[in-house]
Homo-oligomer: A and B are copies of this chain.
Amino acid sequence: MLDRIFNAKSVAIIGASKNETKRGFRAIKTLQEDGFEGKIFPVNPKEDSILGLHCYKTIRDIDDNIDVVLITTPAKTIPGILKDCGEKGVAGAVVIAGGFRELGEKGRKLETQVIDTAKSAGVRLIGPNTSGIMNFKSNMNLVGIRNAPKGVIALLCQSGNMALTLITEAIIRKHAGFTYYAGIGNESDIKFHEYLEFFRDDPDTKSILIYVEGMSEGRKFLQEAYKTTIHKPIILLKSGRSITGKKSAGSHTGSMAGMSEVAKAAYVRAGITVIENSDELFPVAETLSSLPPIKNNSVAILADGGGHATITADLLSDYGIKLPELSEKTKKALKQILPEAASVINPVDVAGGTDQNPSLFADCANIILKDQNVGGLLIVGLFGGYGIRFSESLVIEEEEAAHRIGRLVRKKKKPIIVHSLYSSYNSHPLELLRYYDITVHDSLDITCKCAEALSNYGEYLNSYHAKTNFVFSWRAKAKRAGKKIIANALQDNRYVLLEHEAKELIKLHGAPVSLNRIATSETEAVNLARGIEEKVVMKIVSPDILHKSDANGVKLNLESEDEIKAAYREIIKNAKIYKHDADIHGVLVSPMSASGLEVIVGTKIDDQFGPVIMYGLGGIMVEVMKDVTFWVLPISPRSARRMLDDTRSSIILDGIRGQAGYDKKSMKKLLLMCSDLIESYPEIEEMDLNPVILYQEGLDVVDARIILKK
């Protein structure tokens, strides 16, 4: 169906107009001027002909197949039009109009009506509130942005202005262009992942560039993305990460933006190149669609000046890219062709060696790329501008060098990225580089970001785990006793399990939980404590008191009978002060845990991605250091391992400065247990195990909190 839409042979314009300022006029004119290969049918009951084309009263009057209609009329007219489209067998309707859910309840109702009508009419909906779609091959331009270059990038945007931004950039950069464009709009019918599938299967599309504020079916998108990125890169910018950002995203697209850390982690796991700065979005897409990935995270720098070399080295090292030592053979070969003052370590600085002879750049590049240690090369500085800066006669040598550099990339299958001060000038040598699909940038920052993207993508392809789906199922099973714990709570209208219930539930599934018994009298508390070797901790148990500390309902480090009795009394008293009619089940008596490393494990149901899990440094450090990592559930043993490795604190787990490490195996087991648990009990909305105390051997879940879905 999407194929018939994007490769439409005929387009009808509903709301066609003779008024030159109207979209219904400009749409037709654009199609004509851009040379759309298919047929164009204006539809407007009041006109006979527009721009030399016969104008139809309704779409039903057209005596031909219609693949796509562009509807430029207001929101309230849409349902009627869609019915006509259904009768006519139209594949897709592009609905420009806004005024739906982004305007509140009334708009939301209209939107639902539109979706329902489209569904029963069998018409797929692009938008509403979309800027349109484009097929750059057939010149089907239903957006109105002109002069966009053709190329290999498919573009998927949740903002018309961002589409305009990216296309404008493509025009200015004079290299890469597009296969298709789709404006997501309100994503009411056709979803992100459906567009993605279509672009994946299109043989002309080499990379997919996405701007997203929030998606409605993130889990399906991840699955499709995972299947895509092994074949072609996806480059994505997610905005709306700030609260204020969310406010604006909400007002515009009507979809709530998700929590940014979760989204970012999910996208990265699926092999997507996630971009944070919008300046980098197009250049990275351009680079990933035209250059081979870097396979060993190692890059060499070739510079004609110290400043650029130094800054580039700084940036690459910030990105964690290695600047490998060049081999003796490489250094020797470089020394032979460069002046004495040149530096032949990495970065290589030609020290004026190219001033009279810029073709040396190609010689150096050739020598450097031969080096086994080098996975890619950045040329930074003035290349392409020697003819402009010094003497016009140098252009010929630069051109020759450009040819050789271009062929080198093809031969060696290692990328070369070029930074040039003269990238925005008319420079034939730089045009030649672009002809060979070498990307040229005027920004060192962006040059290095492109290197990082090629390196990360190379690493992802190396580590790609072909055997699993991204979103899968272990078919984990609930236990009867576990179901009962949850059922009991729900029966009491409680949506938060009591601490001992939560602990019982995870213990059922094998998590190491310290002993938990409830005392309902001072004497019982003393008796329970007697069975515990360590000092004890006592906590209030009440469905009315969820934040036990706030109610002064926790006492630590208790040992003597007197202490325990006094603690019991105080806890009960404090609970009643906190809430005079609190339903008190008793006081939990547990052993104090030995000290170890405090970590946190949490799960939640994310709006966009469904169940997700978080792991990281726990205790007070959670909020201070924010050293946490996320994964979409369920997870595999391999993912559990990667989660541990992805935190900054992983070096503590491994044992820092000769100190003993912590039991990573048990930690991984606990993560997998949580994964199973969430799969087994779909009633769970959120779970917090915090702190979990990790030891050299084993671990202890000290507090657990499980919230059920309402």
Contact = CB atoms under 8 A, between A and B. Distances in A.
Interface of A: 21, 98-99, 102-103, 157-162, 164-165, 168, 172, 211, 213, 237, 239-245, 247-249, 251-253, 277-279, 304-311, 313-314, 316-318, 323, 341, 343, 345-347, 349, 356, 381-382, 389, 391, 421-422, 424, 443-446, 549-550, 620, 623-625, 627, 648-649, 651-652, 656-659
Given A240-B314, A445-B279, A249 B161 contact: no
A317 B279 contact: no
Contact of A307 (B162, B279, B445, B446): B162
Given A99-B341, A349-B251, A648-B625, A444 B278 contact: yes
Contact of A242 (B314, B446, B620): B314
Given A307-B211, A652-B624, A245 B314 contact: yes
Contact of A252 (B248, B306, B381): B306
B648 A310 contact: no
Contacts of A157: 307
Contacts of A99: 341
Contacts of A158: 307
Nearest to A308: B161
A159 B657 contact: no
A252 B240 CA distance: 43
Contact of A620 (B251, B310, B657): B657
Contacts of A341: 98-99, 102-103
Nearest to A620: B656
A241 B313 CA distance: 9
Nearest to A648: B624
Given A248-B349, A424-B424, A625-B625, A382 B310 contact: no
Contacts of A308: 159, 161-162, 165
Contacts of A648: 624-625
29 contacts: A98-B341, A157-B307, A158-B307, A160-B305, A164-B421, A165-B307, A165-B421, A168-B422, A213-B306, A213-B307, A239-B314, A240-B314, A242-B313, A242-B318, A244-B347, A248-B306, A248-B310, A248-B313, A249-B306, A249-B310, A252-B307, A278-B443, A278-B444, A279-B444, A620-B659, A623-B651, A624-B648, A624-B652, A625-B648
A160 B305 CA distance: 8
B279 A443 contact: yes
Contacts of A316: 242, 244
Contact of A244 (B211, B346, B623, B649): B346
Contact of A251 (B343, B422, B625): B343
Contact of A306 (B251, B278, B279, B304): B251
A306 B244 CA distance: 12
Contacts of A247: 313, 345
A158 B279 CA distance: 27
Output the residue of A310, A323, A550, A625 with the most chain B CB within 10 A. A310
Nearest to A342: B251
Contacts of A240: 310, 314
Contacts of A550: 658
Contacts of A658: 549-550
Contacts of A620: 652, 656-657, 659
Nearest to A627: B625
Nearest to A280: B445
A87 B248 CA distance: 71
A247 to B, nearest CB: 6
Contacts of A98: 341
Contacts of A381: 161
Contacts of A424: 172, 424
Given A98-B341, A211-B307, A244-B346, 8 more contacts: A237-B311, A242-B313, A248-B309, A248-B310, A248-B313, A278-B443, A620-B659, A625-B648
A389 B148 CA distance: 13
Contact of A245 (B159, B310, B656): B310
A468 to B, nearest CB: 31
Nearest to A341: B98
A353 to B, nearest CB: 13
Contacts of A103: 341
A240 B658 CA distance: 31
Nearest to A168: B421
A180 to B, nearest CB: 19
